Structure 1
Amino acid sequence: MAQAGPPGAHPSAVVAAERAFAADGLALGIKRSFLKHAAPEAIVLAPDPVKVSEFYGAKPDEAHPPLVWWPLWAAIARSGDLGFTSGPATFGGKPSGWFFTVWARQPDGGWKWIYDGGAPSDHSAAAPQGSTPVYLAPATGPAVDAKAAMAAVHDAEASLAKAAATDAKAAYLAVLAPDARLTGSRSAPAATPEAVRAELARRAPAIGFKPLGGRASQGGDLAWTYGEAAWDGGRGHYVRAWRSGAEGWRLVYDQILPVAEPRS
């Protein structure tokens, strides 16, 4: 049975969690802040998926230039248990790409991130810190339980993968929501139809996808997924967010992050 959301579930909840995370990034440093705000199952791409506890657990807790980031785009499920945030970041005062964080509400009502990563996107025109984020429009699809939602998302991903194996651009255009955003290149995150088409044109014409994981909200209206991506001459990973609507599941976020293979 689908679970009803808490009264007034609003993306501002995950925005507040992201801002608290960012504040601790300055106060505690990268290692301690990332571990403090991560759920036990949280992963990062380094460059392949690894649990954050394993990735940061072996790293020394040492001084580093300030890492600063702020959310400018956010979403939350109707059930109030899953959401995401996205925005620009700087490291040592220099641009450091555009982050994407997936958040899960914990049994105590607090929020922990379950995925954190980003693309090298330009943010020279991004709104400054303290700006009010843009909120993704809520889902309009029927309420279903998380298991049924994830099964439907898996079907949508399988269809996308089959089509993308021969024509990635057409495959994406068939499933992208009108308000979707795409990242992966060094260009600013694509948030208009024209920019989305330009971002798709920067990708390989044919891409193979293999799902690795993800989860759906308890209300069955929002889901995130990640997996492997491969194309002629390269490989990487995808990270996505899906939203249900009257027309079915549609992509509202997609990033492809290439893996730089070591030189022989």
Structure 2
Amino acid sequence: MRARPVRRHLLAAALCRALLAAPISRAEEAPLPASLASLVEAERAFARDGVAMGVRDSFLAHFAEDGIAFYPHPVNAREAMRLRPVAPRPPAVILDWEPETGQVSAAGDLGFDTGPARVEVRDGSRSPRFSTFFSVWRKQPDGFWAVVLDMGMSRPDPGPLRPRPFRPAFPDGPRSPSDPSAVSPEPLLLSERAVVRRVATAGWDAACPGLFAETGLALRDGAAPAAGRQAACALASPGPEATTWEALEADLSRSGDLGYAWGRYRKGSEEGYYTRVWHRRGDGSFEVVLDAATAVPEEPPAAAPVPLSSRELVTWVPAMPRVRVRKDLAFPAAGGAERRFDLYVPPGPVPEEPRPAVVLVNGAGDPGGAPARKEHGPFRSWARRFAAEGILAVTFESRAPDGTGDLAALLSHLRREGRALGLDAGRLLLFASGDDVEAALSVAASEAGAGLRGLVALHGEARSPEVRVEAPVLVVRAGADSWAPVERADALVEAARRAKAPWTVVNLPGLPRAFDVLDAGEASRRAVELTVDWTRRQLTDPPPRAPGR
């Protein structure tokens, strides 16, 4: 992330002994290899756009669809920026930065850079703030460099951003891997686990020199970057407190010589996130060329309750920020109107076969003059959670009073256009919570619901206890619901029992309505993961045979 709510957290200061020479102008910058020069120019273009366009629009222009930033927790950067208001031109807040060091893989497909950043208010009413940014870039199929990971650390004033010549992080450039076919990120994860073992066995001071490259770099909040093995080990030292690291995700270049891993760390009561960039040595082992970490600050007491529409799912998995979103696709609604839906696409390569899909029901409809409910936190985070499991997820606008007409029209559109969307029209499932459950049950029981693989009814109820849904239904009952009479949910469940419907009921007597976004306790987390697991099984297992077949 380029600076905490600013942009890049600045690397500046010393880089390595060779970089400590007297400043020279960019005109005196030594020629760079073509692949590295293209990454540096991409970063400088990003910085120019940041000054001219503001944070929101420049991030949208330069981040990959699955790029993540830390605010302070990892989020999909493009989604976070889309939720921000459009900045005026010229922007009132100026965020500027300059790359100072970095490197690219031998294949020219993956690279990183870091440097100082500065954020200030255009009218000068507040003092500037400084940070060190650190970004990982991946070259896209069209040849465009895009940011896939961005972190930032606060730091002292680094001085003028320019002139500041760029220097490669490795004096001799990247080396070719000993085995070019070995491009799985698994060796990086093994290296990460080795860090934990070495530190636990020998202690940080003894283990660190064998981890960092000679020109290794460490980035931490509140400090200038530390360059060189000895200085990097000192800055990155966790001190006497027991520290654990858990790698959550890793990626390696096609040439197998450069990669990165990021994850969580815990040091005493402090928690945060870290990223390490790894470089393959000549003997095939890996060394750390950059280690960045930033703590999650303690949240002050909220001045006002956070509205439900801004809350997100209480569980999180690493793949969620990598989910790609196809925004505002059109579908024809009832009466000739046009509505919009968002398609959440799982990370990774697109498979040859179409994927199953979950439709998150907007049965209550969108309030007039307010953002569509598909932009609300519960809808967005549930959609990402399903997509993280390899399942497409759909959220949609609804203007009808009860939402049933728009839901039926959307299902018809998905069945008709499923192949073009990469969606298996024979594997659709509805997910509804709270006030949306009644519309979901109504549509599932109608002709529009024929062939559905299932329905999830989360802490909701229906006024009519009639049960005609033949597809499997998961009812997650919140026994401490204070928003609606629990008796309505009980009557619905009893009607299903009498009808011998294929319903599964999970009873959570102590949990409130909307527990999935309001209650972070273990019972809520288990209920969310149970819901995800049940949904995955309904969409991946063969459909049940109809009676008599």
The TM-score, its normalising length taken from structure 2, stands at: 0.44
Letter in 2 for 1:14: L
Deviation per CA, 1:53-105: give whole Å up to 9, x if none: 22112111234321010001020100000001110000017242110011111
Structure showing the higher strand proportion among its residues:
1
Q: Structure 1 residue 146: deviation in Å?
A: 5.8
Alpha-carbon distance between aligned partners in 2 of 1:11 and 1:205, rounded to the nearest angstrom: 39
SS in 1 for 2:38: helix
Alpha-carbon distance between aligned partners in 1 of 2:299 and 2:129, rounded to the nearest angstrom: 25
**Match of 1:161?**
196
**Residue of 264, 276, 300 corresponding to 1:228:** 264
**Residue of 41, 44, 54 corresponding to 1:19:** 44
Q: Are positions 1:89 and 2:117 aligned together?
A: yes
Alpha-carbon distance between aligned partners in 1 of 2:35 and 2:156, rounded to the nearest angstrom: 28
Q: 1:232 to 1:102 in 2, by over 3 A?
A: same
Alpha-carbon distance between aligned partners in 2 of 1:152 and 1:51, rounded to the nearest angstrom: 26
Q: Are positions 1:135 and 2:158 aligned together?
A: no
**Residue of 45, 55, 62 corresponding to 1:30:** 55
Alpha-carbon distance between aligned partners in 1 of 2:273 and 2:239, rounded to the nearest angstrom: 13
Q: Are positions 1:250 and 2:287 aligned together?
A: yes
Gaps of 5+ in 2: 1-32, 121-126, 302-549
SS in 2 for 1:66: strand
User: Number of residues paired by the alignment?
Assistant: 255
Alpha-carbon distance between aligned partners in 2 of 1:109 and 1:17, rounded to the nearest angstrom: 11
Counterpart contact for 1:169–1:205, Cα < 8 Å: no
**Residue of 52, 73, 78 corresponding to 1:48:** 73
Note the 1:1-264 alignment, pairs <5 A. 9-62=34-87, 63-92=91-120, 94-124=128-158, 128-137=161-170, 138-140=173-175, 141-145=177-181, 147-148=183-184, 150-165=185-200, 167-201=203-237, 203=239, 205-247=241-283, 248-263=285-300
Q: 1:79 to 1:185 in 2, by over 3 A?
A: same
Structure number with larger C-alpha Rg: 2
Q: 1:225 to 1:201 in 2, by over 3 A?
A: closer
Deviation per CA, 1:176-216: give whole Å up to 9, x if none: 11110001132210003442243134656431111111311
Deviation per CA, 1:199-254: give whole Å up to 9, x if none: 13465643111111131101100001110001111100001100001241000000
SS in 1 for 2:108: coil
Counterpart contact for 1:230–1:236, Cα < 8 Å: yes
Alpha-carbon distance between aligned partners in 2 of 1:153 and 1:174, rounded to the nearest angstrom: 15
Alpha-carbon distance between aligned partners in 1 of 2:150 and 2:266, rounded to the nearest angstrom: 21
Alpha-carbon distance between aligned partners in 1 of 2:278 and 2:49, rounded to the nearest angstrom: 29
Alpha-carbon distance between aligned partners in 1 of 2:230 and 2:129, rounded to the nearest angstrom: 24
Give RMSD over aligned pairs: 2.0
SS in 2 for 1:158: helix
Letter in 2 for 1:116: D
SS in 1 for 2:227: coil
Q: Structure 1 residue 147: deviation in Å?
A: 3.5
Alpha-carbon distance between aligned partners in 1 of 2:182 and 2:141, rounded to the nearest angstrom: 17
Gaps of 5+ in 1: 1-7
Deviation per CA, 1:129-186: give whole Å up to 9, x if none: 24321102223342424643x1111111111122334634433332111110001132
Counterpart contact for 1:139–1:245, Cα < 8 Å: no
Alpha-carbon distance between aligned partners in 2 of 1:43 and 1:194, rounded to the nearest angstrom: 30
Q: Percent identity?
A: 29
Alpha-carbon distance between aligned partners in 2 of 1:215 and 1:10, rounded to the nearest angstrom: 19
SS in 2 for 1:11: helix
Q: Structure 1 residue 25: deviation in Å?
A: 0.4
Q: Structure 1 residue 118: deviation in Å?
A: 1.2
Alpha-carbon distance between aligned partners in 1 of 2:70 and 2:161, rounded to the nearest angstrom: 27
Counterpart contact for 1:164–1:206, Cα < 8 Å: no
Alpha-carbon distance between aligned partners in 2 of 1:88 and 1:32, rounded to the nearest angstrom: 21
Counterpart contact for 1:21–1:37, Cα < 8 Å: yes
Alpha-carbon distance between aligned partners in 2 of 1:146 and 1:204, rounded to the nearest angstrom: 37
Q: Structure 1 residue 46: deviation in Å?
A: 1.2
Alpha-carbon distance between aligned partners in 1 of 2:240 and 2:67, rounded to the nearest angstrom: 29
Letter in 2 for 1:153: L
Letter in 2 for 1:199: L
Counterpart contact for 2:97–2:161, Cα < 8 Å: no
Structure showing the higher helix proportion among its residues:
2
Q: Structure 1 residue 117: deviation in Å?
A: 1.6
Name whichever of 87-96 and 137-146 sits farther off.
Answer: 137-146
